[in-house]
Amino acid sequence: MIHAASRQALAEARARLNGLLETLDSRDGEAERTLAAELYAAADLLAGQPRLRRTLADPSTDASTRGGLARTLLGSRLSPASVTMVVAAVEQRWSSPWDLTDSLEILADDALLASALKRGELDSVEDELFRFERILAASGELSSALDEAIVPAERRVQLLHAVLDGKASAITVELVAHAVASGRKRSVQLAIDDLLEASAMRRDRSVARVLSATELTAEQTQRLASALSGMYGRPIDVRTAVDPAIRGGLVVRVGDEVIDGTVASRLAAARSALAG
């Protein structure tokens, strides 16, 4: 999780990534996927090498010196595009070495989402991420199994593939598989939250996660999107899921804000008032 003091560094690194993505000659999104894989590998390298991690994020060392060291170490291992991106990240000022590592993972996620956008799959990837998030919310056993740190990452990733292979796109599986394997994620559900926000950011939008007792029609979804866009003053993408437990009404979450207009919540409030 990136700390507040490093957010400007991450913003700068993301801006550099977006500029780099515009230069990639890739109509099928494969160059972006390669970039993502190599940025994940760089993050894994730093996660496993504490001394190197501290050296590359040391704010007392000149930025160009840190960047030169990264280029020397990784120049023969990664593609030129990946080396350029790692160097750009290393040259930022981070509040902690782990923030640099986390930023590389975030940049890799962004590159995969850019691949999905280029392939015309970003809408479906967002839908698949949201629906898998709802599956995890409904199945504490599956969520716990994927988050269990004492279980080797390889076994947890195997479980994920057993659940998602053939049911979600390759990019969706890659995104979630890295979240499962990474030792830096608080939980897979929270990692999916971050991925949905990153996907919306790639299209200068926000995401509203909407739960309803029955499935919304396309017309209802569009009206809700228009209303939320007007309320928040920016484009809002709506992702819907059915949860009969809410009985009626809607639960809408945009970022950290939750709008709960469900029958279940009103009944719970009434019971609380009676108990008082």
> What is the Cα–Cα distance from 205 to 131, expressed in whole angstroms?
19
Distance CA 22, CA 103 (A): 20
**Residues facing 211 on adjacent strands:** 241, 251
pLDDT value of residue 213: 84
- Report residue 114 as tokens: 């850019």
Cβ atoms within 10 Å of 186's Cβ, excluding its own: 11
Q: Are 238 and 225 in contact (CB under 8 A)?
A: yes
- % the chain with pLDDT above 70: 95
- Domain boundaries of the chain, sorted by first residue: 1-119, 121-204, 206-275
**pLDDT tens-digit profile of 191-224?**
998 999 899 888 888 888 888 888 889 898 999 8
Phi, psi of 28 (to 5 degrees): -105, 5
Phi then psi for 59, rounded to 5 degrees?
-70, -15
- Give the contacts of 14 (CB within 8 A, at least 6 positions apart): 106, 107, 110
Average pLDDT over residues 117-134: 91
* 142-153 tens-digit pLDDT: 999 999 989 999
SS3 248: coil
